[in-house]
């Protein structure tokens, strides 16, 4: 059988519905509650004072009892202390009884049985310095393979609220790999001539950079900084926003400069590949050799007139003619008869005269020269 009698004696400040019309009801309830709280505080103070006196009496009794010799005066004092202790204990019991019999009110009707405070501990920031270059590269490849579409979806967003919600729903995107991927994508967009799209994506890149930088400063996992960053950027003053916009402009300029450099390097690489294809058997570029030849020799190669070439060589200084023709052979502009490749065949004028014979079957001007 449940005993509900204890619920009948409850004291509440506003337990009277009818009050005098000239009295402010709210103030009356407030005064009643204040008076009740003061009475409770007074009883609590009295109880604490009695407890303190009782402890002092007990300590004095122990001091007397611990003495080896107790005279008549100490015995008399000990009796007084015992009487005082009994009196104090009696008064404490009376106060406890009064508390038990006192009506319940909003301050005593319930008490906290237990409490628990839960603090979400943010994970510390990962120390990437312990990873090798191979591990970082493999992690980047795995990330791109798994999250490439999601990263691009984030990059297309324009509003801070949308970006915040998206990153909160996809916390795995808040990492160095995501930042690196978006940076490379901006570079490729600029190389492809998609400048407007690059500028749009750059804002999301810098937002991610700020989150990662905030993570470094606080030494916590960057996923725990998403809400803090977007709250700060949306409530920031003009100075902070100006710094944010300047960082975006600087990033865009770096992307433009890097893209231009990449394009120039690609052009140079193509030119070098073509130059390597043009190189003659001696490793010289026929175009460069042709442009550096004397004008008289250039006319011979432009006209592709073998007889004119032989006549021109005979008129030149032997050493100069030998030097220039060796360069022509090394670049592939001139492919002579194999028997004529002997250096001795070019050392005297008689052999040069023999070369003037119209034996065009064994020697010719290479047509590699670009007109």
Together in a domain, 253 and 175: yes
Together in a domain, 183 and 91: no
Is residue 7 in a domain? no
Cβ–Cβ under 8 Å, residues 157 and 176: no
Domain that holds residue 304: 286-365
pLDDT value, residue 10: 56
Together in a domain, 238 and 303: no
pLDDT band at 350 (very low <50, low <70, confident <90, very high): very low
Is residue 60 in a domain? yes
For the chain, helix, strand, coil in percent to 5 are: 70, 0, 25
Together in a domain, 140 and 263: yes
Is residue 110 in a domain? no
pLDDT tens by residue, 160-213: 899 999 999 999 999 999 999 999 999 999 999 999 999 999 999 999 999 998
Decide: helix, strand or coil at residue 335: strand
Is residue 275 in a domain? no
CB environment 67-90: b (16+ within 10 A), e (fewer): eeeeeeeeeeeeeebeebbeebee
How is residue 365 annotated by DSSP?
E
Element (H, E) at 364: strand 364-365
Which tokens is 185 given?
């994508």
Cβ–Cβ under 8 Å, residues 36 and 102: no
Cβ–Cβ under 8 Å, residues 236 and 242: no
**Which residues make Cβ contacts (< 8 Å) with residue 371, sequence separation at least 6?**
302
pLDDT value, residue 28: 65
Instruction: Report d(CA 196, CA 191) in Å as an integer.
Output: 12
Is residue 107 in a domain? no
Together in a domain, 258 and 302: no
Cβ–Cβ under 8 Å, residues 164 and 230: yes
Together in a domain, 293 and 356: yes
pLDDT tens by residue, 27-62: 666 777 777 778 888 888 888 888 888 888 888 877
pLDDT tens by residue, 268-322: 888 878 777 777 777 787 888 888 888 888 888 888 878 888 888 888 888 888 8
pLDDT tens by residue, 258-276: 999 999 988 888 887 877 7
Instruction: Report d(CA 201, CA 190) in Å as an integer.
Output: 11
Q: What sign has the CA pseudo-torsion 144, 149, 150, 154?
A: positive
Terminal-residue alpha carbon distance, the chain: 118
Q: Is the pLDDT of residue 145 over 90?
A: yes
User: From the CB of residue 200, how many other CB atoms can be counted at a distance below 10 Å?
Assistant: 16
Number of domains composing the chain:
3
pLDDT band at 154 (very low <50, low <70, confident <90, very high): very high
Q: Is the pLDDT of residue 339 over 50?
A: no
């Amino acid at each position: 059988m449940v005993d509900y009698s204890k619920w009948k004696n409850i004291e509440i400040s506003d337990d009277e519905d009818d009050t005098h019309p000239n009295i402010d009801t709210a103030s009356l309830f407030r005064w009643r509650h204040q008076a009740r709280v003061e009475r409770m505080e007074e009883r609590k103070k009295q109880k604490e004072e009695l407890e303190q006196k009782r402890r002092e009496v007990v300590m004095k009794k122990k001091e007397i009892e611990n003495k080896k010799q107790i005279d008549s005066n100490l015995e008399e004092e000990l009796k007084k202390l015992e009487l005082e202790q009994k009196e104090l204990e009696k008064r404490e019991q009376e106060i406890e009884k009064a508390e038990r019999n006192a009506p319940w009110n909003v301050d005593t009707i319930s008490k906290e049985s237990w409490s628990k405070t839960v603090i979400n501990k943010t994970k510390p920031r990962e120390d990437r310095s312990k990873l090798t270059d191979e591990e970082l590269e493999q992690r980047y490849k795995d990330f791109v393979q798994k999250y490439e579409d999601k990263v691009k979806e984030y990059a297309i967003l324009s509003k801070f609220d949308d970006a915040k919600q998206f990153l909160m729903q996809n916390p795995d995107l808040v990492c160095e790999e995501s930042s690196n991927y978006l940076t490379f994508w901006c570079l490729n967009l600029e190389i492809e001539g998609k400048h407007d799209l690059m500028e749009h994506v750059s804002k999301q890149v810098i937002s991610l950079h700020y989150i990662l930088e905030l993570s470094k400063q606080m030494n916590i996992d960057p996923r725990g900084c998403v809400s803090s960053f977007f709250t700060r950027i949306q409530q920031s003053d003009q100075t902070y926003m100006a710094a944010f916009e300047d960082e975006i402009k600087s990033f865009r300029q770096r992307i433009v400069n890097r893209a231009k450099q990449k394009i120039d390097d690609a052009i140079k690489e193509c030119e070098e590949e073509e130059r390597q294809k043009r190189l003659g058997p001696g490793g010289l570029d026929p175009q460069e050799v042709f442009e550096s030849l004397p004008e008289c020799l250039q006319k011979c190669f432009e006209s592709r007139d073998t007889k004119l070439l032989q006549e021109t060589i005979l008129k030149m200084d032997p050493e100069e003619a030998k030097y220039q023709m060796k360069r022509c052979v090394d670049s592939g502009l001139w492919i002579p008869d194999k028997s004529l490749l002997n250096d001795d065949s070019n050392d005297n004028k008689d052999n040069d005269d023999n070369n003037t014979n119209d034996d065009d079957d064994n020697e010719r001007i290479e047509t590699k020269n670009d007109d």
